[in-house]
Amino acid sequence: MNFIEPIKKLGLSARFTLNLELLRYLGPGFLVTVGFIDPGNWATNIAAGSSFNYSLLWVITLSTLMLIFLQHMSAHLGIVTGTCMAESCRRCFPAWANYIFGGSIMLACIATALAEFLGASIGLTILFRFPLALSALISGGIVLMLATIQKYEQTEHLIISFVSIIGFCYLMELFLVKPDWGEAMQASVIPKIDSSSIFIAMGMLGAVVMPHNLYLHSEVIQKRNWYASTPERKRQLLRYEFLDTLLAMGAGWMINCAMVIVAAAVFFRNGVAVNDVMQAAETLKPLAGKLAEFLFAVALICAGFSSSVTACLAGGTVFTGFLGKEISPTNSWFRLGVLITAVPAIAFIIVLTDTYKALIWSQVILSMQLPLTIIPLILLTRSRKVMGEYANGRFENLLLYLCGGIVVFLNIFLLLSFFGCQKARADPIIRI
């Protein structure tokens, strides 16, 4: 508040002062935004742009709108109750349900960390030509240090920096590849889909809403001094949270759109079939220049590091929350949760021989768990016993049921497709 006091003394308006106060509450939304600009999103976005040009950009818009609402509900829960989603589950549900919710989300955190560490490792391999196993060890060491030593506020600043670097890299790439902006803008709001692109579209939509981020957002939102002595102040803080979520997810929307646009402008335009992220980086060099390849690798490293940090933080939060322990990066139980999340993921990357299958199975696990995160979120936020006067109204519940129903349906469909119950005409997911 120190930087606001001089403004008050100058006699500036209260509205302007409150707008400046909003800056103090920016950060939690960006911490979770990296969850949907992670290596898994890179895979589906590159596949969409290289195979179907700009036509699937609308999927990014739709999925981001859904994500904003679900993340807002998660943060809303944290602000109103003063507890994270894991703690609320432990307090409100029977033990047998918490074994299911807690055990499945820990498994999902490990699966998420596998994909995130893999992306960071591939980025290091592209940029420095390290063996993948060495890149995995380097990535693991850096991420564990950031996740266990940093405080939430410091981590938020770091993640915002990473998101800024990713955004800058893709802004530069957009300048280099010179896309058709008219067609891209039209495709971002007008749905267009056929039998050959429906699988990719569902993969893009299903990859955006990740279960670990819903748990994480309800915790990190409390680290910004969300204390209110009056209902009016509480409502003001809820508005700040929504603006933070909206700005952060909006930045994620722009970066995801940029991924699709660059892939369309470079690969689709030149008739290049891409089925591997390393191939995508190598192909960028002759088509768009060496700088484009370098920017691609830097952005992938930042995406991998930042999303790996949030996956580990989510693991620590879930582990301590369901056990009823203090949730703090300096707490030994929290650090144990981080290790349980990160170590299996790093070890698996070192020994795996097929990174493509590893990515597929990590997404299968996330698909299986996601309904087990959305269901408790619905039950908690609609309950007046839990939320009091801030419980969802009919309209909010309707939107929540709609979002939950769409996500659950698409993830079940994707799960069946992974097991061969649905055959896509095109290669469904780009190889990593």
Q: Kindly state the percentage of the chain with pLDDT values over 90.
A: 20
pLDDT (tens digit per residue) in 174-185: 888 888 899 999
Please report the pLDDT score of residue 357 as a whole number.
Answer: 67
pLDDT value at residue 26: 67
* Domain edges within the chain: 5-418
More confident residue, 352 or 8: 352
Q: Say yes or no to pLDDT of 353 above 50.
A: yes
Looking up tokens 């322990």 gives 325
CA dist list (Å): 149 to 2, 143, 144, 220, 332: 27, 10, 8, 16, 12
Is the per-residue pLDDT at 387 higher than 50? yes
End-to-end Cα distance, the chain: 46
Question: What Cα–Cα distance (Å) separates residue 75 from each residue in 185, 205, 221, 244, 245?
Answer: 31, 21, 6, 10, 9
Task: For 399-426, write each residue's pLDDT tens digit.
Answer: 888 888 887 777 677 666 656 544 444 4
Is pLDDT of 334 > 60? yes
Place 110 in a pLDDT band, splitting at 50, 70 and 90: very high
Which residue's structure tokens are 């619905």?
A: 378
Please report the pLDDT score of residue 341 as a whole number: 94
Which among 50, 223, 207 is positioned nearest to 116, based on CA atoms? 207
When pLDDT is averaged across residues 76-84 and rounded to a whole number, the result is: 87
How far apart (Å, rounded) are the C-alpha atoms in residues 384 and 155?
Answer: 34
Q: Which of 294, 50, 62 is nearest to 169 (CA)?
A: 294
Tell me if 127 sits within 8 A of 139, measured CB to CB.
Answer: no
pLDDT of residue 419: 61
Q: Write out pLDDT tens, residues 271-320.
A: 877 766 666 666 666 666 677 778 878 888 888 888 888 899 899 999 99
Instruction: Indicate if the pLDDT at residue 11 is higher than 50.
Output: no
**If you average pLDDT over residues 207-225, what whole number do you get?**
80
Q: Answer yes or no: CATH 3.30.300.30 is held by domain 5-418.
A: no
Residue 237 has pLDDT above 50, yes or no: yes
DSSP state of 221: G
- Buried/exposed 141-180: b ≥16 CB within 10 Å, e otherwise: eebbebbbebebeebbebbbebbebbbebbebbbebbebe
pLDDT confidence of residue 80: 85
Question: Is the model's pLDDT at 96 over the cut of 60?
Answer: yes
